[in-house]
Amino acid sequence: MNKKKPNIYLAVTIDTECDKGKKWKLKQPLTFKNIYNGVVHSLQPIFDKHHVKATYLLSPEIMRDEKSVDVFKSFGDSVELGTHLHAELIEPQANFECTNTSHFQNDFSPEVEKAKLENLTTLFKDTFGYQPLSFRAGRFGISADTLSFLQELGYTVDSSVTPDMKWTNQVSGNVANFFGTPYQPYYPSKTDFRRKGDMEILQVPVTVMNHKLSNLPLWLKRGIKLNKSYEHVVFNYATNFSKPQWLRPTYSDVETMMDLTHRYLKVTNDNDLFLCIMFHSNEFEIDMSPYSLVQSQIDKIIDRLDSYLDWLIKTYHVEGIGLSEFKDVFDKKQLN
């Protein structure tokens, strides 16, 4: 008897930002060519071709640019729109003349972070006329309070977690440690977003894995700190210097993304699977990100994304849905 193929629920999430360049430097005054051209002519046509509902997570400056807003309104129900916080670009303590967006949310006091999230959410509602449901932190830099704030503000899904990774802000020294988070969606604990708990906001981790860590118990991985240089040395040798694999066409070729998909299916014992691709809108326009300085780099990213979606959809039963729609599907599966 042939084994039934698993259902794959796919969220393609795009951190949607202004034009940047080498080392993620902002182009001042702000420009939005990556929206007007890259998203419209290079990116969205791929999703239309494959009948995938993409989720554009909008940074504050996008919502202040009338032409960009018109672009996303023109897509209608074929896309989902959510929010994405780069803290420099919204009050309080904004820096609209910044040349980079280096802050984590956890660089700020809880009061300031909450106010920024409130202002971001209000900006979205004033711009589009409805409540945003999905969110991702800029640079993945959530704080211990972020999910509680988002839940209070009416969000139902966050996707700021990158399993098997730790991010360190080289300016502030603050960290976002995701060692020990599940690979699949989960309801987090209010006291530790890496653990399962009883919050109402669903955490949808970005699809990323260090395969050397995939079989370790979560509680053991949560003990990985990497605060000292010798800890990095021990970690690198223990994992044979392996690097995380991303479901991200900027970083990974098609074979790597296929391999990662198979590894995720192994973790879920070939049961139904949730996948979350992420990348940036400005990776699809020339000289607007470090990964797209010339046309050949963009062509490579486009080909990878197109080819991976083509393979995935032909190989499995795939539903390409909005990020917030994961919650309904996940909840129904928990009841079955």
Whole-angstrom distance, CA of residue 283 vs CA of residue 272: 30
Instruction: Give the domains, in start order, of the chain with CATH numbers.
Output: 7-331 (3.20.20.370)
pTM of the model: 0.97
Strands (E), 38-133: 54-58, 80-85
Query: Which positions ≥6 away from 162 have C-beta within 8 Å?
Result: 140, 178, 205, 206, 208, 244
Tokens of 21: 């360049």
What's residue 321's pLDDT?
98
Give mean pLDDT, residues 44-55.
98
Residue 30: is its pLDDT beyond 90? Answer: yes
pLDDT digits (tens, 9 = 90+) for 73-132: 999 999 999 999 999 999 999 999 999 999 999 999 999 999 999 999 999 999 999 999
Query: Which positions ≥6 away from 276 have C-beta within 8 Å?
Result: 10, 11, 13, 159, 204, 205, 206, 207, 247, 323
Place of tokens 């990095």: 232
What's residue 212's pLDDT?
97
What's residue 299's pLDDT?
97
Following DSSP, what letter does each residue of 227-280 receive, concatenated?
Answer: -SHHHHHHHHHHTTT---EES-TTT--HHHHHHHHHHHHHHTTTS-EEEEEEEE
Residue 2 confidence class, pLDDT cut points 50, 70, 90: low
Give mean pLDDT, residues 154-175.
97
pLDDT digits (tens, 9 = 90+) for 220-263: 999 999 999 999 999 999 999 999 999 999 999 999 999 999 99
Residue 1: is its pLDDT beyond 60? Answer: no
Residue 19: is its pLDDT beyond 80? Answer: yes
Residue 275: is its pLDDT beyond 80? Answer: yes
Helix 254-267 crosses helix 295-315 at what angle (to 10 degrees)?
A: 40
What's residue 3's pLDDT?
66
* Average pLDDT for the chain: 96
Alpha-carbon distances, residue 196 vs 5, 200, 266 (angstroms): 28, 11, 21
Which residue stretches of 51-88 are H helix?
Answer: 60-64, 66-74
Place of tokens 């296929």: 258
